[in-house]
Amino acid sequence: MCGIFACHKHPNVHQFKPQALQLAKAVRHRGPDWSGNVISNDTILTHERLSIVGIDSGAQPLVNEEETIFLAVNGEIYNHRILRKQLDADTKFKTHSDCEVILHLYPKYDIDTPKMLDGMFSFVLYDKVKDRTIAARDPIGITSFYQGWSSKTPGAVYFASELKCLHPVCDKIISFPPGHIYDSATGKTTRYFQPSWLDSTKIPSNPVDFEKVRTTLEKAVRKRLMAEVPYGVLLSGGLDSSLIASIAARETEKLKLTSGVTNGTVIPHELVGISEGDDLDTITALPELHSFSIGLPGSPDTVAAKKVAAYLGTVHHEFNFTLQEGLDALRDVIYHLETFDVTTIRASTPMYLLSRKIKAQGVKMVLSGEGSDEIFGGYLYFVNAPNKEEFHKETITRVNNLHLSDCLRANKSTSAWGVEARVPFLDKEFLEVTMNIDPQDKLILKGERLEKYILRKAFDTSDKPDQKPYLPDDILWRQKEQFSDGVGYGWIDVLKDTAEKMVTDEQLKNPKPEWGADAPDSKEGYWYRCMFDEQFPAQCAPTVMRWKPTWSNQTDPSGRAIDIHVAKYDEK
């Protein structure tokens, strides 16, 4: 990940520059490798870089040969080699950066440029000749991105990777909508990502193609191994992360054979090209795949993760945290996550602690399993879906809101320590395949069909005895465990118990008037909201969405509050 801060049409941009650099510094944790900035006319772009691809020559903001187009990007463009190949032969590239291709696509495709990209990204591009700024965010919102305005500088528009850059200068802030592009020439933000599955009134009827589900996920993982730095996988021991780890382990073995990795020696970046079929060839900076897990000692996830790692042969790193360490990190977690949502904070805290450990290992990029539960209806509350139509609509809602929940958590928990998380389940092609499956095949049927049955079955090779299984059966068919539960059931317990001491009954009954209709419904939520308000002004709160299960009257969003959970809460 990287960090962006930009302002278009500032009334005194040169005088504003020192403050702009300070605001950009607020997200230097996202990009600790280098800083850059450029001013053109009355627009300033700043960039804090985390170097993953083109590490020797990809400093930003990027500029074209004529010095008329300037670009600041946060993210990765997985098809950049293919796009380079498709551009005119006389196109001059200055760097090996995957992001530079955007500079050369813009003159040809204008605001359709994001449609050409396969990756996770948010970018701000300034056209000096037209005095025009465009800004865009990837289809699902994997990278965090915000837009702001200030009553003190009417006519100016601001962009940043995190709220902490904007709230000192903006009194109105929004989360930039995923799959959209902003154009200063019109002042409009329009949707460019229009997949077939987006219309929730159209219920798909396509039968499951298990082989296609498997091969498209394998392809999604393969393209995300594009890196010139050490990488690994986040491994909770649950289905999603374990499948990603399994595929990554297989791909890493293939890369050793096909990309010239021998005895730990890696071939140079510039020698790796594009295959005849326009598939991405990539390299690995590690001869072995490293996996990372965290939990309280003996937690369900760490036990399962250790088993998966041993089965796959990864170099496994298991970290434990204490309840007190988790509690001590809460305020910092809220600062980096920029949320007061209970579910997000519960799950982000161990992920935040783990990311620090990963950074200490010298790893810059990890693969993670976010998105699967939204696509396949994997959360246990989906068992209460009244019919397949409502089930399908809920999956679309959840996918559309990922930028306010699990993508926000994965992006900011890792970026807090200069680590990048990539999410294969949210690959555009994989989404196109899996969101167009008849939802009848996704339904959870008590005693008959486990949640995410389609995904499990796609990687079930029990009918192929000559083929090594992707995962052990007890992992492939392990029940969904929300991350905040799986790290150890004592974690949520201590959060509730501590909140009980921090917030009185009277406070919960009489929330702050400025919270309006968004008042917390639990002491834990009240406690988090107070910590948020201490660090962020009121204009930041509307960017937060509180995650709640649907078709349920439960106040606790934990999966253990659903009666089909094998370790459900005791009834009191």
**Ligand-binding site membership of 473 (annotated):** no
Q: Which of 425, 428, 295 is nearest to 349 (CA)?
A: 295
Q: Is 2 a catalytic residue?
A: yes
Rounded to a whole number of angstroms, the CA Rg of the chain reads 23
Q: Which two three-digit tokens encode residue 373?
A: 């539960």
Residue pair 371/402 in contact by the 8 Å Cβ criterion:
yes
Name every residue whose Cβ is closer than 8 Å to that of residue 34 and which is 6 or more positions away in sequence: 48, 49, 51, 59
d(CA 102, CA 117): 8
Distances (CA, A) of 485 to 24, 92, 333, 382, 406: 35, 51, 18, 17, 15
Q: Which of 248, 292, 291, 255 is nearest to 275 (CA)?
A: 255
HSE-CB of 146 using CA atoms within 13 angstroms: 27
d(CA 415, CA 120): 14
Q: Which of 126, 127, 99 is nearest to 114 (CA)?
A: 99
Strands (E), 150-228: 157-160, 172-175, 180-183, 188-191
The active-site residue, picked from 2, 99, 170, 540, is 2
Name every residue whose Cβ is closer than 8 Å to that of residue 477 and which is 6 or more positions away in sequence: 450, 456
User: Tokens 């559309």 map to which residue?
Assistant: 400
Residue pair 287/256 in contact by the 8 Å Cβ criterion:
yes
**Ligand-binding site membership of 369 (annotated):** yes
**Ligand-binding site membership of 368 (annotated):** yes
Q: Which two three-digit tokens encode residue 535?
A: 């660090």
Binding residues for ATP: 234, 294, 368-369
Residues with catalytic roles: 2
